[in-house]
Amino acid sequence: MYKMAPFIKDDDSEVLRFIGQNNFALVTGIGMEYPVASQLPLEIIKENDQLFFLGHLMRNTDHHTGFLKNPKVLIVFTSPHAFIDAGWYTNPAVASTVNYMSVHAQGELVFTDEKGTYDAIKEVTNKHIEQGTPGSFENIPSDYVDQMLKAIVGFRIEVKNLQHVFKLSQNRDKSDRENIIKKLLTRSNEGDAFIAGEMQKRL
C-alpha cells in the first residue's frame, strides 16, 4: 500500500468510521489459478480490541473455492476519488495527483455453519431494510430463506492487520488546500464533492 506520513491518521476511530460508511468492500484472495475477488457488504464487529468482518457469499464460485483453499484474504475499502490539477497550486511546477481514501485489511476467513449463515443474512437485511416494511427479514418466506441457505454461505474474517491512506492534500499548505476545495466544488466529476468535503473537515 502506498503510504506517506501526512496521509496516515493516528486515530483508529476515524478509520473504523470510514470502513463502516464504505462497507461494500472488495474481498480478494488466492484462487485455483488466478487471484479471486468479490465485492460484498460486510458487517464490522469489534470484540474487545479485536476486529471482525461478517458477511456471506455464493457457494461453488471461484472465490468460495479459493477461500476454502487459502483463507488468507485482503479486504479493500475505498472512497470516491478526485484528480487534483497541479495548476491549482501556488507553485504549479510539480506533478498533478489523485486524492482518495482507502483502507486495506488483511485477515483470515472462516466459513460458518448454517446458523451462522442465517444470522449473517438476517444481520445485513435488518441493517439496511426497516423492520415492518415489505422487504424486511421477517417478511421473507421461510421456505425462500431455506432455499437461500443452500446457495450461500456465511463467513467471519478475523482482521490481522489494518492499514490506511487518507490522501487529501495534507502535504500542501493551507492556501493550496483551500484553492483545491474551491476548484473541486466548481467541477462536476464524480468524487469531487466528496473529496472537497473531506478536505474541508481537515482545514
pLDDT higher than 90, residue 155: yes
> Angle CA(195)–CA(201)–CA(203) in degrees, nearest 5?
100
Q: Is 19 exposed, middle or buried (0-12, 13-18, 19+ CB in 10 A)?
A: buried
Grid cell in block for residue 93:
511546477
User: What pLDDT shows up at residue 126?
Assistant: 86
CATH of 5-173, one of 2.60.120.920, 3.30.300.30, 1.10.760.10, 2.30.110.10: 2.30.110.10
Say yes or no to pLDDT of 170 above 90: yes
pLDDT at position 12: 86
In total, the chain counts a number of residues equal to 203
pTM: 0.91
- Per-residue pLDDT band for 178 (boundaries 50, 70, 90) equals very high
Residue ranges per domain, the chain?
5-173
Return the closest-CA partner of residue 149 out of 113, 111, 109, 110: 113
Residue 171 exposure: Cα atoms within 13 Å on the Cβ side: 14
Residue 168 confidence (pLDDT):
97
46-85 residue pLDDT tens? 999 899 999 999 999 999 999 999 999 999 999 999 999 9
The mean pLDDT of the chain is 93
